[in-house]
Amino acid sequence: MINYRALSPKDAIDRYPALGCVGSLANLRCQKRGIRFFKMGRKVVYRPEDIEAFLFRDPVLTLDQQGDKP
């Protein structure tokens, strides 16, 4: 069984400091960019797996990881 725990913007920042601040998340939501979120009435929530997908979507490959590719 999958356990989904919805995080408020403040909880998301506390758990993932790389996101910046609550205001940054609000700006991204207003622009329809950034992390997928859900609204329940006026309350905004994020799923941890959506936050992690956002944070790790564009890895930077080092020369060691690229192997023989130029």
Side chain identity at 28, as an amino acid letter?
A: L
pLDDT value, residue 21: 96
pLDDT tens digits along 7-50: 999 999 999 999 999 999 999 999 999 999 999 999 999 999 99
**Which residue pairs, CB below 8 angstroms and at least 24 apart, start in 41-49?**
43/8, 44/8, 44/9, 45/6, 45/7, 45/8, 46/6, 46/7, 46/8, 46/9, 46/12, 47/4, 47/5, 47/6, 47/7, 48/5, 48/7, 48/15
Residue found by looking up tokens 């797996």 in the block = 49
pLDDT value, residue 52: 96
pLDDT value, residue 64: 84
Per-residue pLDDT band for 3 (boundaries 50, 70, 90) equals low
